[in-house]
Structure 1
Amino acid sequence: MSIIKVKDKRFETSIPEAEIKQRVKEVAGMINKDMAGKNPLLLAVLNGSFIFAADLMREITIPCEISFVKLASYQGTQSTGVIKEVIGINEDLSGRSVIIVEDIVESGLTMKRMIETIGTRNPADVRICTLLLKPEKLKVDLDIDYVAFRIPNDFILGYGLDYDQQGRQLKDIYTLKED
C-alpha cells in the first residue's frame, strides 16, 4: 500500500488500478447483456464520473450514447447536503433506456433527485451504475443496478474523485489516512 499526500491530507491505496479495470469490464459486461438491442443513453454525472464513464463506455460493445449532467453537493471532504443542478439534460429521453453513471453513491439524495428529474421526461427505464457505493450511508431506498465496489464510509479520492479538486488524475483509489 502506497501513501500519498494531497494538499494537507495523507491517503493510502485502497483499490489498485488493475482491480478497477477488471470491475469496470465486468460491469460493462452486465450492461451489454441487460441492454442488448436498446441503445441506452449513459448519463454521466460530472465531475467525478468522467474517468469511470469513459472507461465503462470503451468496454460496452452494444450501441450506446453518452451525455453529461453536472450536479454539485460537495465542498472539501464534506457534502453540503444541498444538491444544485449546474448543467442540465438536453437530450430527448422519451422512450429511452437511461443509465445514470455516477462515481459514488453515499446518501443517495443526488440519485433520488436525478431519477425524479429524469422521470419527468418519460424515459422507458432508468438504471443506476456507480463505481462506488457506501451502503451504510444510504438515506433513501434506491435500486442500484450496477455497482463496481461496495466500500466502507471512508473519504476516498483518485480515479475521478477529488479532495478539494485535487487527485482526480490518480489511477488508483485512495482512502484518507487518519493520523
Structure 2
Amino acid sequence: MKRVTLQDKTFELFIPYEQIQSSVQQLADRINRDYADKPVPLFLGVLNGSFMFMAELMKRIGFACEMSFVKLASYRGTSSTGKVSELIGLTDNLQGRDIIVVEDIVDTGESIDHLMRSLVGHRPASIEVATLLFKPSAYKKEVEIRYPAISIPNDFIVGFGLDYNQLGRNLCDIYKIVNE
C-alpha cells in the first residue's frame, strides 16, 4: 500500500488520481446537463483546498461561465475549529446570477453553511454546491449538497488540494490517515 508521511502523521492511498478524474467527469456531465441553458453561471471556488478540483472540473465544463474565489478557514491540524472566518471576501456582483460553489470537501458543513448565509444576502438567482468529497456521516447542516463527486467515510484525508497543516495539497492522489 502506497503511503506518505507529513510531519508527524502517516497516510495511506485512499482514492487514486484516475478514480478522481472519472468522478469529476461524471459530476461535470451532470452540471453540463443542468446548466447548459443558463446565462453565464459563476463557479465560486473556496480556497485553498478547492483549487485542484476546480481546475479539473472547469476543464470539463462545456458552457460559458465565469470563475471567482473566496477563502474560508475552519481547520487547525486534523480537526475543525467549529468557527469559520472569511479571509478573502467576494467582489463579484451576484444579484440574479446562478452560483455554483466549488468545495474540496464538505464534512460538518460549518464552512458551507457560513458561506451560503453570506451569499444569500447578494440575492443570486440560485446557489448550488459542488464538492469533490462529501462526508454524509459527519454532515450536520441543512444545505443541500446537490453535486457531490465522491461520498466518503469520516476519515481525515489529504491530497488533491486537501492538507494537513498546509502539507500534502500537491499530491495527485487522496490519502487517508493511518491510525497506528
- Shorter chain as normaliser: what TM range? over 0.9
Aligned to 1:31: 31
In the alignment, structure 1 residue 12 sits paired with structure 2 residue 12:
yes
Aligned to 1:54: 55
Q: TM-score, normalization: structure 1?
A: 0.98
- Detail structure 1 runs of 4+ shifted over 6 Å in the superposition: none
Q: Offset at 1:142?
A: 2.1
Cα distance in 2 for partners of 1:156, 1:19 equals: 15
RMSD over aligned CA atoms reads 0.7
Aligned AA for 1:64?
C
- Kindly indicate whether the alpha-carbon contact (under 8 Å) linking 2:24 and 2:57 is maintained by their aligned counterparts in 1: yes
Bigger drift between 40-49 and 30-39 goes to 30-39
Bigger drift between 89-98 and 135-144 goes to 135-144
Aligned residues: percent identity? 48
Query: Helix, strand or coil for the counterpart of 2:59?
Result: helix
Cα distance in 1 for partners of 2:146, 2:41 equals: 14
Aligned to 2:179: 178
| Structure 2: tracts of 5 or more residues without a match | none
Query: Structure 1, residues 89-109: CA drift from partner, whole Å, max 9, x if none?
Result: 100001100000001101112
Cα distance in 2 for partners of 1:73, 1:163 equals: 13
Query: Helix, strand or coil for the counterpart of 2:122?
Result: coil
Cα distance in 1 for partners of 2:3, 2:113 equals: 35
The 5 A counterparts of 1:1-179 are 1-38=1-38, 39-179=40-180
Query: Helix, strand or coil for the counterpart of 1:137?
Result: coil
Cα distance in 1 for partners of 2:142, 2:44 equals: 21
Cα distance in 2 for partners of 1:48, 1:79 equals: 14
Q: TM-score, normalization: structure 2?
A: 0.97
Cα distance in 2 for partners of 1:152, 1:144 equals: 16
Query: Structure 1, residues 53-76: CA drift from partner, whole Å, max 9, x if none?
Result: 011001101111100000011111
Q: Offset at 1:37?
A: 2.2
Aligned AA for 1:169?
N
Aligned length: 179
Query: Structure 1, residues 23-48: CA drift from partner, whole Å, max 9, x if none?
Result: 11111111111011222100000000
Cα distance in 2 for partners of 1:140, 1:55 equals: 27
Query: Helix, strand or coil for the counterpart of 1:98?
Result: strand
- Kindly indicate whether the alpha-carbon contact (under 8 Å) linking 2:83 and 2:110 is maintained by their aligned counterparts in 1: no
| Structure 1: tracts of 5 or more residues without a match | none
Cα distance in 1 for partners of 2:148, 2:140 equals: 17
Cα distance in 1 for partners of 2:108, 2:78 equals: 14
Cα distance in 2 for partners of 1:147, 1:9 equals: 27
